[in-house]
Amino acid sequence: MESPYRWMIVAAGAIMTCVAAGAMFSLAVFLEPMSHATGWSRAGISSAMTLNFLAMALGNFGWGAASDRFGPRIVVLIGAVVLGLALVLASRAQSLIAFQVTYGVLVGISASAFFAPMIAATTGWFETQRSLAVSLVSLGIGVAPMTMSPLVAWLLSSHDWRTAMLIVGLIAWVVLIPTAFLVRRSPALAAAASGAMPAESAGTIRTVREAFRSPQFIVLSLVFFACCAAHSGPIFHMVSYAIFCGVGPLAAVSIYSVEGIGGLGGRVLFGVAADRLGVKPVLIAGLLVQALAIGTYIYVRELKEFYSLALIFGAAYGGVMPLYAVLAREYFGQAIMGTVFGAVTMVSSLGMAAGPLIGGWLYDSYGAYTWLFVGSCAVGLGAVAIALAFPPVPSQRKLQPA
C-alpha cells in the first residue's frame, strides 16, 4: 500500500520549484530599474540569464547524482541555503561582473538543485498515478510567473531594486529551508540504503555507465533536446512577434499569461492521460501538437488568434515536459534516477539556450520571424520522429514463448 505521505512530497516539490524558478526568472522584472539605477547595460544584465541556463545545465547533472548518493533532503537543503545567499549577495553587487557571477552562476546552480532531485524523489514514492504526481511537481514552474513575478513587481513599487532582491533572498530562505525538511527518501530506497532489501532496477540497466550507453538514454536525451530547442525560440520571441504583427505591447505581454494557463491545464491533463494510456503515446501526441502549433503561428495575426493558439501551445509544451522524468524512471529504475534524469535535463538545457539565440539571428538576417517558426516546427517534427524510436519500457515487454 502506497503511503499517504507521497502527496506531501509532491506539495514540497511544487513549492520549491515555484520559488526557485520564480526567483531566477524574476530578472526580467528587475531589468529596467536595475539598468536605470546602476547604468549597467541591459545586455550585460540580461547575460546573467544566459549564465543561468549554462549553470543549470551543469547543476542538473551534479545535483541529480548527489541526490542518488546522499538523498534528496540534503541536496535541496543546500540548494535553499545557497539560493538565498546568492540573491542576497547579488543585491549587494557593486559591479556588473559581480552581479553576473552571483546572480548568473550562483543562482543558476542553486536553482537547479530542486527540479531533478525532487522529480526523481517523487517518482520513487509513486507506483500508481506517477505521471500525475510528476506533473504536479512541475506545476510549480508553471505557477512561478504568476506568483513570484507579481510579488517582485509589487516590491519594486515601494523599494529600490537592491532592497527588493534582498527581500526575495530572505523569502527564499524562509520558504525553502523549512520545506526541505519535509523531503524524505522513498520507503523502497530507504530500505535499500539500510541494506534491508536490494535496490530496485528496471530491466537489465543497473549502473550509470550502462545507462549512459543505452539506446534508451540516447533517444530520451535527443527527444528532450529537440523538444526544448523547438519551443524555446517561439516562447522567448512571442511578445516581439505579436508586436511585429501589430498587437499592442501590453496585449502582447498578456499572451505569456495565456500560455501559462494552458501549461497548467496541460500538465494535469497529460499526466492523467499518461497514467491511463501510457507515457510514450501521450508524449508523442503532445510533441506532434506542439510542432503543429508552432507552425501555425506563421498564419496568426489577430490577438484572439494568438490567445487561442497560446492555450494549445502552452498545454502541449507544458504537458510533455514532466513525462520525460516518468520515462526515465521506467527505463532506469529509482536507484540511479537522479543521475540519469539530471544528465537528460542537462542536455535539454542546451536546447533551451539555443532556441532564443538562433531565433534572434534569423530575425536579424531576414527581418521577420517566419523562418524561426518554420525551423522550430521542423525541429519539433524531428522530435516526434525520434520519439517513435523509443524502445518499449520494461513494464510493456511481454514474455516470449520458449
The answer to whether residues 291 and 377 touch, using CB atoms and an 8 Å cutoff, is yes
Assigned C-alpha cell, 333: 529504475
Max mean pLDDT range (138-142, 173-177, 301-305, 392-396): 173-177
State whether CATH 1.20.1250.20 applies to domain 208-388. Answer: yes
The tens digit of pLDDT for each residue in 297-322 reads 999 999 999 999 999 999 999 999 98
pLDDT for res 381: 97
- List the single range of 6-10, 198-202, 365-369 with lowest mean pLDDT: 198-202
What average pLDDT does the chain have?
87
Is there a contact between 6 and 133 (Cβ–Cβ < 8 Å)? yes
Residue 205: phi and psi, rounded to 5, are -90, 110
How far, in Å, CA of 208 to CA of 394, rounded?
Answer: 17
Domains 6-193 and 208-388 share a fold: yes
When pLDDT is cut at 50, 70 and 90, the band that residue 32 belongs to is confident
Here the cell at position 237 is 520571441
Contacts of 383 (CB under 8 A, 6+ apart): 223, 226, 227, 230, 287, 291
Q: Comparing C-alpha atoms, which of 53, 114, 52, 59 is closest to residue 81?
A: 114
- Is residue 13 within 8 A of residue 122, CB to CB? The reply is yes
The SS3 of residue 202 is: strand
Tell me what pLDDT residue 352 has. Answer: 83
DSSP state of 391: P
Using 50, 70 and 90 to split pLDDT, how confident is the model at 350?
confident
Report the alpha-carbon distance of residue 212 to residue 221 in Å, rounded. 10
For domain 6-193, say whether CATH 1.10.1380.10 is its number.
no
Residue 202: strand pairing partners: 205
Of 213, 168, 26, 183, the C-alpha closest to 118 is 183
Domain ranges of the chain: 6-193, 208-388
C-alpha cell at 177: 529551508
Please list, in sequence order, all residues whose beta carbon lies within 8 angstroms of the beta carbon of residue 24, skipping any fewer than 6 positions away: 52, 107, 108, 111
Of 125, 175, 133, give the one whose Cα is nearest residue 322: 133
46 pLDDT tier (thresholds 50, 70, 90): confident
Q: Smallest Cα–Cα separation from 354: which of 244, 235, 256, 241?
A: 235
Q: Would you say residue 145 has pLDDT above 80?
A: no
CA–CA distance, 289 with 280 (Å, rounded to integer): 14
pLDDT in tens, 243-288: 889 988 778 878 877 888 898 899 989 999 999 999 999 999 999 9
pLDDT (0 to 100) of residue 174: 97
The reported pTM is: 0.78
Tell me the pLDDT band of 383, cut-offs 50, 70 and 90: very high
End-to-end CA distance of the chain: 34
Using the predicted structure, report yes or no on whether residue 235 has a pLDDT greater than 80.
Answer: yes
Written as nine digits, the cell of 393 is 519500457
What pLDDT is recorded for position 378?
97
